[in-house]
Amino acid sequence: MAFSVAQSAAAAASVAPGTPRHAPAPALAPASVSVTVRKAGGAPSGCLRLQRQPPVEPARPVACRAAAAAAAGSAAAERASTRSAGVPVFVMMPLDTVKKCGTALNRRRAVQASLAALKSAGVEGVMVDVWWGIAESDGPGRYNFAGYTELMEMARKTGLKVQAVMSFHQCGGNVGDSVTIPLPRWALEEMEKDRDLCYTDQWGRRNYEYVSLGCDAMPVLKGRTPVECYTDFMRAFRDHFADYLGNTIVEIQVGMGPAGELRYPSYPESNGTWRFPGIGAFQCNDRYMLSSLKEAAAAAGKPEWGHGGPTDAGSYNSWPEDTIFFRRENGGWSTEYGDFFLSWYSRMLLEHGDRVLAGAASVFSASPVAISVKVAGIHWHYGTRSHAPELTAGYYNTRRRDGYLPIARLLARHGAVLNFTCVEMRDQEQPREAQCMPEALVRQVAAAARAAGVGLAGENALPRYDAAAHDQVVASAAERAAGDRMVAFTYLRMGADLFHPDNWHRFAAFVRRMSGAGSCREARGVAQATGSLVREAAVALRS
């Protein structure tokens, strides 16, 4: 998730100087998975046995990917056929839409009123996090989607589409996280036993937001690999919601890391570890990552490079020129060693994305849904030569090198959409000394998506209800030739503030502008006509 001080006075006050090596086969499911299906009342209503899908032979991944890309491409083409009129707008649901027990919705009345209001304003649909820590909390292979079923049915009756996010990360510890939803208990138990399952920085700090990608292929979670866990979860979701796929659920966004983004947890906010606009820190010191680094260094004929990441790259809240590794002149990032390390670090992230997407393709290849992946909008220090915050997050993007084209090409191989954040931000709103350039970053990512032939979708990084943010989104997403428009835009976030009368009037106008289907006068009519629904939603959301 991108960050801006435009919304945070406290953050503003803190500003001061200072192609994958191989293509792994999709992960296999265990021989059988027990799925506990619960009704809203909480009592188990049955148990479904999911049989292992036939093993994929080493020679088959290309065919599997081609089939997945074709299916996703078909879904994207269907969506693109309606784009001549503009860009469909989705709205993110609250992080705690479903109760932590998983059996029902929080604030059901508020959700119902909110969905009705959104539909009346011309919104295409909603996005909801399907939390791993909620839906598989009872034990490995025991899935409880009851609360999500209630939401899908409500969306169907309202006539809204759903973007379902497979959220394999912890909620809490990142920008905008207002609640805490940890990983499943049984997964955390394994991480406590073996703390090297956590991402680890050079000072030994462990991060529990997401299982380290270094152990993707290791059976470290109660006999399954992390990628097998993610794939099994997606398969259970597909089977449970088979009747909704394609008609109500139109997109599956596949979580890839902290905040659901394909990146390392290089800038965690929890416990004050990081604050904007710090450069963050490399996350490569768990023993699984170090084993891979050691192997890569030996293969490069430089075994001395395999003992860990750079030790002269500063700390979480450093600025590039405070460090030796990221400094403008003769920084380590521009040396032979720097290129070796950054290439390995970013390649590990790409390979992780490849493995998880291969699992998603094996599950959803025959389903009429689009697949998407979120990439973080790390815009601070973008104006420097090294782009330090992007490098620590795993994006090998510098003034000399395009780090987003390899990501876009990875998604193209799987027919996935690239979902990018910080679309609402303007350069002039950011602190000049931090050399923030969100507009240039959005242009670079859009160019990479276009070159790779993948659809580009967008989000706003922070809750914004003002006309300036709306203008920027419309300019970036909708006011373009049909071929360059975004395939969708997801608005952050549904809540009481959105339904404030002034905010709602502006939002209704924004949706009309994005669709290209109405005037501001018509938007005012929509806002007035939905007044009672909006008031009901606002009151219920505050209760």
Residue 22 annotated in ligand binding: no
Strand, coil or helix: what is 209? strand
DSSP 184: P
Residue 414 annotated in ligand binding: no
For residue 52, what is the enclosing H or E element?
A: none
Residue 384 annotated in ligand binding: no
DSSP 28: P
For residue 493, which of 34, 1, 11 has the smallest C-alpha distance?
1
Rounded distance between C-alpha atoms, residue 88 and residue 77, angstroms: 14
Instruction: Give the torsion through C-alpha atoms of 337, 343, 346, 347, to 10 deg.
Output: -140
Q: Based on the number of CB atoms within 10 Å of its own CB, is 67 exposed (0-12), middle (13-18) or buried (19 or more)?
A: middle
Q: Based on the number of CB atoms within 10 Å of its own CB, is 320 exposed (0-12), middle (13-18) or buried (19 or more)?
A: buried
DSSP string, 248-279: TEEEEEEP-SGGGBSS---S--GGG---TT--
For residue 260, which of 473, 492, 528, 515 has the smallest C-alpha distance?
492
Q: Cα-flanking dihedrals φ and ψ of residue 45, to 5°? A: -110, 0
Residue 387 annotated in ligand binding: no
Residue spans of alpha helices (H) in 171-330 = 185-193, 226-240, 287-299
Residue 461 annotated in ligand binding: yes
Rounded distance between C-alpha atoms, residue 354 and residue 496, angstroms: 38
| Residues 6 or more apart in contact with residue 397 via CB below 8 angstroms | 387, 390, 391, 403, 404, 444
Burial 279-309 (b: 16+ CB within 10 A, else e): bbbbbbbbbbbbebbbebbeeeeeeebbeeb
Residue 460 annotated in ligand binding: yes
AA letter at 409: R
Rounded distance between C-alpha atoms, residue 456 and residue 451, angstroms: 11
Residues catalogued as catalytic: 261, 459
Residue 493 annotated in ligand binding: yes
DSSP string, 383-441: TSSS-HHHHHHT---BTTB-SSHHHHHHHHHTTPEEEE--TT--GGGS-GGGT--HHHH
Residues belonging to the binding site for substrate are 129, 169, 177, 374, 379, 421, 460-461, 493
